[in-house]
């Protein structure tokens, strides 16, 4: 009987401890302006963003900083977004509530001269149209959508990590 009660407490302690270690590492790597725009514990995606940071750490990334992102409302029902600075490069991650996925979203890319134009079809719906000077690579991972700007090598590394 005691084991049944103790096991959830032990698991919670381990998760809390690993999250605290991650946050300590994050705050020591975020300096200057970045220290001022770190993702706040009051942000709706904070817990999800820290869980993903832990996942990335477990898959070989060194997460230097998790910052608030301007891409908070690109999709209907989106929970939020975070900007990750890692040893391998930076990328934005969009989050839906855990019960939802980006599986039914189709990314449409069009070229206009040297510009890359993007819009989205499917659900969740997005009225967003993006005009970029570099290609943007999107990686779906359950309720998470990675947005990697102009870095095909980083995209391949992330894809390998999420397929494991």
Averaged over 121-147, what is the pLDDT? Answer: 97
Flag whether the pTM goes above 0.85: no
- Residue 40 has which token pair? 């706040």
Give the HSE-up count for residue 125: Cα atoms under 13 Å, Cβ half-sphere.
Answer: 1
11 or 119, which is more confident? 119
Closest by Cα among 34, 43, 67 to 53: 67
* Placement of tokens 């943007």 in the chain: 136
pLDDT tens-place string over residues 8-63: 444 444 444 444 444 434 445 676 666 557 898 999 999 999 999 999 999 999 99
Residue 102: Cβ within 10 Å count = 25
How far apart (Å, rounded) are the C-alpha atoms in residues 3 and 88?
41
Mean of all residue pLDDT scores within the chain? 86
Residue 60: Cβ within 10 Å count = 13
Domain count, the chain: 1
Name beta bridge partners: 57. Answer: none
pLDDT tens-place string over residues 129-138: 999 999 999 9
pLDDT tens-place string over residues 74-97: 999 999 999 999 999 999 999 999
Averaged over 142-149, what is the pLDDT? Answer: 97
Residue 69 clears pLDDT 60, i.e. is over it: yes
Residue 141 clears pLDDT 90, i.e. is over it: yes
How far apart (Å, rounded) are the C-alpha atoms in residues 149 and 164?
23
Nearest 5°: CA angle at 106, between 144 and 135? Answer: 80
How far apart (Å, rounded) are the C-alpha atoms in residues 99 and 76?
14
Which residue range is the domain that position 112 belongs to?
2-163
- Residue 83 has which token pair? 């900007």
Residue 104 clears pLDDT 70, i.e. is over it: yes
Residue 7 clears pLDDT 90, i.e. is over it: no
């Amino acid at each position: 009987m005691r084991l049944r009660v103790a096991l959830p407490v032990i698991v919670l302690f381990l998760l809390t401890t690993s999250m605290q270690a991650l946050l300590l590492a994050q705050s020591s790597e975020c300096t200057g302006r970045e220290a001022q725009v770190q993702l706040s514990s009051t942000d709706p995606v904070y817990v999800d963003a820290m869980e993903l940071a832990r996942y990335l750490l477990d898959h070989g990334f060194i997460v230097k900083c998790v910052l608030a992102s301007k891409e908070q409302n690109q999709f209907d029902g989106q929970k939020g977004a975070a900007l990750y600075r890692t040893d391998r490069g930076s990328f934005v991650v969009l989050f839906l509530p855990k019960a939802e996925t980006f599986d039914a979203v189709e990314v449409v890319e069009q070229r206009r001269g040297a510009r890359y134009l993007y819009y989205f079809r499917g659900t969740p719906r997005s009225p967003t149209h993006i005009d970029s000077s570099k290609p943007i690579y999107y990686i779906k991972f359950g309720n998470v959508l990675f947005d990697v700007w102009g870095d095909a090598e980083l995209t391949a590394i992330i894809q390998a990590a999420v397929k494991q």
